[in-house]
Structures are given as structure tokens and as C-alpha cells.
Structure 1
């Protein structure tokens, strides 16, 4: 079997707030995807918080904290408290880029605000509890192509309109695909998250057979534009769109609140205490990836989560495991499992975590349960 090289590029969860069910669904989806796909392909995960540290969403929050709350000791704060400060920032007046630029420059040089350092420290504990394959996810430093180099590359392929000589914005031009122009650098020179994604992606394109973009539904338009640009630059691109998880019947952004009591720090401990860590890990994956499905119909519910954790325990018992499953144990890549997963991936070339999880629950495809759980889930 020829192993393809796949670059998996999910939109990152900005380290400015607590992890909610929506964030967990996103993180666990690509964790399962990468772990399962790695059995038959060479998977490279592109996920660096530093890539987007200079955006207004992150650098703007840092500037707000230093200006409005200069005396806070962030090491003593919970992620929920930092999330409340982020909501306060979102309600405040927008500062001009001239005031934001010093923070952006520091961020581009590798500086991390202590509030974000605290969030990442807490997230590492969560990732360990969740059994994520990389507990320091996003902690690397991204190598970004220079702004002028990226603009020149795009302009040469008629993929961008550079208004900078006239004091105007830079636009991505995907109009041949029926998509409107998209501002990626403002008139005052501030690059947004889409341009920064291109700064990181473009240098990597020639090293991979496939680029997989993973994002949530609300970003669909931007990712259609991004797909068009990358394809015109010669990349083979697939998209995987995920939906947000409703809370109390509403789908809201973290900046708007409504997540209080629904963060992993808020609901995990009693469930782990009742059922154990392995059952919790698997049950949360089953619930978020399969139980809630691809749509946005059902709200996150602790009683429903517990039902899925009970089902997870039965699966673990069926798989014949003892009290613990360790993803770092001996190699379980049998001759059969990689080929079975490759067939499940089909022409798209990667494992859809929703499809894999539903197949596992229905025992479709004859994939060995014990090996699959160990390799991709717990």
C-alpha cells in the first residue's frame, strides 16, 4: 500500500476561553481522524496557536488585559474567569490597529501573554484527561512566510487584489469560483486569521499529497475561498465541516457566554469519579462524535453524556480490556486494520471520525474493536 502524505489543518481553538462542548467536539474529531488515518497514511497535523497570536481576536484581548487589568495575577485564575474577561473584552470599544500594533509585533516575535500561558497550562491537564495524542497541542512555534512574499505569490496567480499602494486593503480573489472578494489585510495593515493561515500553509503545500481543512460551519465561506486559493496554487484539497454544539437550545459563540457550567472543567470531574477515566474518555467521544451527529439539533446534556459513558463501559468490557487502555502500549497495527481503515476512507483519503464512530457502534465493516479502541479512541 502506497502511503500518502496528508496535511491536516484544523482551525485552532484560540486560547482565550474555557473548552466548551463545541471545542471538545472539534478537538476530538481531528484527534480520532489523525490517529486512525495514520495507520495507512503519513499524517502531519498543522496546529499552532502562535500562527494566530497576532490576530485581533488574540492580540486584541492581550492588549485589553494589559490596559484594563494590569495588576491581575493570571496564574491564580481559572479558565472560566479568563473566559469572562474575554467576554468583557468583546463588549469593549474596538481599539485602532495603531494601538494594537506593539502587541502584534511582540506576538509575532514569540511572546505569549500570561493569561494565555495559564489557559494552555490548564488545557494540557484537560488533554491528558481526554487521552489526546498530543497533550501540548498547539504549543509549537509556527514558521510563517513573510507578508510580502505571500501577497506576491497570490498576485502572480491572480488570486489577490493588493490595494496597499493606494492605502486600501488586500483582498483574496476567488470571484472565478463565484465567491466575493474577501479582505485579508486591512487598510491599516493588520492581517486577519485567513491570511495568517495562508502564511503557514503555502510553504508546506509541495511536501504533501493532500491538504485537509477542518473548520466549523460558521466559517464555511472563508474556507471555500481558502480551498479555491490552495487548489489554484497546485494543492489537492479536501474540506471537513463540523457543526457547533447547542447549549440550552442555542448555538452561541464563546464570546457571548452561555457556557458557564458546560466547560470540561465544570462537568468532567463527577463523571470521571463515577465511571472512571477510560469510560469517560470513550463515552465523551461517542457522545460528541456520533451521539450528537452531524447536525445541530440536540443540546449538550449531562444525563445524555452519562448514558454514553455507560455504553462506553460496555464496549470496553466487550473489547476484553482490563482496567486500563493505554494508547502508548505495544504496536497494534495488524496487517488487517490499516487496510480496513483505508477502504473506509475511500477516495477522500482520510478517516471521517463520525463515520468511523458510527461504524464501530454498529459493528459495520468488521473492524476489530479492541485494536480500534486502542489506536484511535482511548
Structure 2
């Protein structure tokens, strides 16, 4: 849960800072998340266990607890998940996931995080079969499906192992959805930045190689997870009670006003948490970030526009580094950030 907040805040500052200097397209597709195996296993568990009930009456924490329970059960065969995959391919979202998305949208709106398009319908421009055929023609995919086998992304020319993207049962891996989104976008953009979880870096290194082979100029930004003290593993393991975004916002907004909360959360999850994994959630440091945010807002000057404050933090790959920019505004004895910069990028 804190890991998700960190990801959204990093991307929001990166996007808003970079778009002040150049045109940027923010590509998010909820359909891709819905087509992952872990999501469809959750949906199958809910329908098998509870049937047709009103999930809008459940809190996000309740639904998160059911998500954890779903992943303690034996993995169902893909035949049980196939109806969900077929509906999700057409843009359908299970009511439980819609409830969670709406909760997240409310909390991100409170933070003034740019809406990534949670509820936009973005059909893929390439089918899985079309993408696999195109990659196979270029020697980037081994397709054994006609023999009853899997399909693999083939990065062996770069010393990378084969990566299965369609199983023998027909279940497509999330990487196939990533490529279905990105490959049709290559021609219309100068550069592609892949922002991803640090733990799946090898998968995205392979995606990057494939995109470059297809003509894209690419870079990657890997973000580490935020450990919760006493908890091991991902959100599937649970243990994150008290650290969900709505719980953190309620905790902070009892003591600070909304602008301080918005800036303080960005200071904490970008500068204090840093890019890599390993810095656990620390409510004491989060409170300290709120204090620093209040001081920054008090001493911010008028400024003439954020561009001159942003350009020094533009990376060679063409995007503004959220970490470098956030550390700059926190420098002791440094130039005071302009209120325009704070408004445009951090609030």
C-alpha cells in the first residue's frame, strides 16, 4: 500500500515537472492490471465465495483483506479464469475492483495527483496474436502455441533468457499487455520512459531491449518498494493495516492543512523514501516531512515561472528527476523554491 502511494507520487512529480518543459504523454491502462493472473484469481475467489453481492458496501480495507485470502488458496486452472480474461479484454472490471479504484481515485484527488485514467476505456490497438506474430517475424518471439506449447519473448541475442508470455493453457503474462500498449505508440513519440517496480527489473530490461530494436529511444526508472515494519512480501501477503493511503491521509489531515499534506507526502515518499527499496515506512519521519512542507510553503517566494528551476534536473533521457528536484527544494541555505514551482509540480 505505501509502495503504491510512492509510485503514484513519483510519477506525478515526474510528469508535471517534465510537461512544464516539453510535451508528455502519460500512458496508463487499467485493462492491463485487470488481465493479470493475480487480479483474475481474486475475482474468481470473490464470485465463488460470495456470489453476486454489493461490493460497494465494503471498505477498501475489507476488500484488501479478501485479496490476501484469495491468494492463500490453491491457484485455480486458467479454464476457471478464462471468462474473466475474455470480459476484461473488452474493458469489464469486477465491482470489487471498481470499488477499490474509486477509493484510490478519491485519495489521489485529495493529493492532487494527476488522474492516470483509472476509468478510461483504452482498447489495445494490437491483439495478442498480432503482437506475437509481429515479434516472431523479427526473431523476438518463439511461438510454440500451434504445437500446444507456450510463447516466449526471445532476448537471447542480448544474453537474456527466454521469458514465457503465454502459457500452454493460453494464459497471457502481463508483459504481453505492456507491449500491446507500447509498441503502437513508438512512431508517435520521441522517447519512452518505463517506470516500474524494482523487483521486476529483468522483465522491463527485456521490454526495453525489444522497444529499442523496434526503433524506440528508451530509458527506465525502477522504483523500490516501501517496506512495512514486521511485514515481508508484497500486498498479497497482507500486514499493511494502518498504512493504507486513506489511513495516512486521515492521520496527517488531523494536524495539517491540505497543501501541507500534499507537499509533505511528496517530500516523504520521494526524498526520504528515495528511489530504491530498503527505507521502511516511518510515521515519525512522515510527521517531520509535514513540518518541512509547512516551512517551505511559508518561505516560498513569488518567482517568475518554474522552467528555470526545472531545467537543471532534466536527465539526458529527457525527463525531470523527481528525486533531484525534491532534494534541491529541501537544501538548507539554498535558493528558496518559488510558489509557482510548488503549485505547478508539488501541490
Structure 1 stretches of 4+ moved >4 Å? 363-368
Shift of 1:303: 1.8
2:118 counterpart (132, 138, 151): 138
2:102 to 104, 121, 144: 121
Matching of residue 342 in structure 1 with residue 323 in structure 2: no
> Over residues 212-231 of structure 1, what are the superposed CA-to-partner deviations in whole Å (9 max), with x where a residue is unaligned?
00011101110011111111
Residue 17 of structure 2 corresponds to residue 23 of structure 1: no
Q: Deviations over 1:299-323 (max 9, x none)?
A: 21212111110110000001159xx
1:70 to 48, 51, 68: 51
Instruction: State the TM-score, normalizing by the size of structure 2.
Output: 0.95
SS in 1 for 2:316: helix
Judging changes above 3 Å, is the alpha-carbon distance between structure 1 residues 116 and 275 closer, same or farther for their aligned structure 2 residues?
same
Return the offset for 1:370.
1.4
Match of 1:271 among 224, 249, 252: 252
Aligned 8 A contact 2:3 2:226 in 1: yes
Aligned length: 346
SS for the counterpart of 2:114 is coil
CA offsets 1:353-373 (integer angstroms, 9 cap, x no match): 111111121179858431210
Return the alpha-carbon distance in structure 2 between the equivalents of residues 231 and 365 of structure 1: 39
Query: Root-mean-square deviation (CA), in Å?
Result: 1.9
Q: What runs of 5+ residues in structure 2 fail to find an aligned partner?
A: none
Q: What does 1:1-378 align with in structure 2 at a 5 Å threshold?
A: 20-134=1-115, 137-144=117-124, 145-248=126-229, 250-319=231-300, 334=305, 337-362=306-331, 368-378=337-347
Q: Distance in 2 between matches of 1:213 and 1:249?
A: 31
3-state SS of the aligned residue for 2:149? coil
Secondary structure of the residue aligned to 1:190 is coil
- Cα distance in 2 between the residues matched to 1:358 and 1:152: 46
SS for the counterpart of 1:171 is strand
Q: Residues 170 and 183 of structure 1 are in contact (CA less than 8 Å); yes or no, is this contact kept in structure 2?
A: yes
Q: Distance in 2 between matches of 1:156 and 1:364?
A: 58
Kept after mapping to 2: 8 A contact 1:55/1:192:
yes
CA distance in 1, matches of 2:127, 2:333: 48
